[in-house]
Amino acid sequence: MLTSSRAWTVFAVVAVVIYVTDQLSKRAAVEHLTGRDDVKVVGELLQLHLTRNPGAAFSLGTGFTVGLSCLAIVATVVVLGVSRKVVDPVWAAGLGALLAGITGNLTDRMLREPGPFRGHVIDFLQLPNWPIFNVADIAINVGAGLILLQVFRGIRMDGTRPDHDVEDDT
């Protein structure tokens, strides 16, 4: 089992690597896709299509960008607080990916046009019959998936499992 500090290192490394990847990919998308037609990467399966999304997933909540920004700030604080207690490496990786995704999109909302708390998120990855998304969106889903995996496996953040098999035969 990892120590708390080693798990937190996993958390921090995952968060930083994914966050930087997200921001660099968005910068490249804006630089190379602005004003261009869709770029086919894998035929119709994966294309690059630049869009600026004021809403949340599936472009829902486009009128609530300020609220989404505030929610992302709260989520960031919660994930950072929870991460201080993590010992299990899978939980650490999941929380790190979740933090990277949340802060990656929050960075767009704070720094991009039309201004702080109202900025549009850069999306550029397109699959058939699916909303356009970005690396931060992938990270949020992977992070949530890893956390759910550990929950379903019965593994707590400290790496222990509740003892369900012990019965009192007295």
- Stronger pLDDT, 168 or 36, i.e. the higher one: 36
The CA distance from 71 to 76, in Å, is 9
Mean pLDDT value of segment 13-40 = 97
What is d(CA 112, CA 60) in angstroms, rounded to the nearest whole number? Answer: 19
Q: How far is CA 87 from CA 9, 80, 92, 138, 151, in A?
A: 10, 14, 7, 24, 14
Catalytic residue among 22, 38, 137, 168: 137
What would the mean pLDDT of 44-48 be, rounded to a whole number?
96
Mean pLDDT of 150-161: 95
Residue 57 confidence (pLDDT) above 80: no
> Is the confidence at residue 96, as pLDDT, over 60?
yes
- The predicted model scores a pTM of 0.91
Looking at the predicted structure, is the pLDDT value of residue 97 above 70? yes
- Percent residues over pLDDT 90 in the chain: 85
d(CA 68, CA 54): 9
State yes or no: is 38 an active-site residue.
Answer: no
User: What integer pLDDT is reported at residue 58 of this predicted model?
Assistant: 65
Mean pLDDT score, 133-158: 97
pLDDT band at 123 (very low <50, low <70, confident <90, very high): very high
> Can you give the pLDDT at residue 117?
96
123 is catalytic: yes
Please name which of 87, 96, 107 lies closest in space to residue 140, comparing C-alpha atoms: 96
pLDDT score, position 163: 75
Peptide bond into 89 cis (omega under 30): no
Say which of 108, 123, 158, 163 is annotated catalytic. Answer: 123
pLDDT tens-digit series, residues 125-144: 999 999 999 999 999 999 99
For the chain, the structural domain boundaries read 4-153
3-state SS class at 163: coil
Whether 62 has a pLDDT exceeding 90, the answer reads: no
The arithmetic mean of pLDDT across residues 100-126, rounded, is 97
Lowest-pLDDT range of 5-9, 32-36, 58-62, 88-92: 58-62
For the chain, give the mean pLDDT.
92
* Closest alpha carbon to 143 in 84, 85, 75: 75
- Nearest CA to 21 out of 131, 96, 75 is that of 96
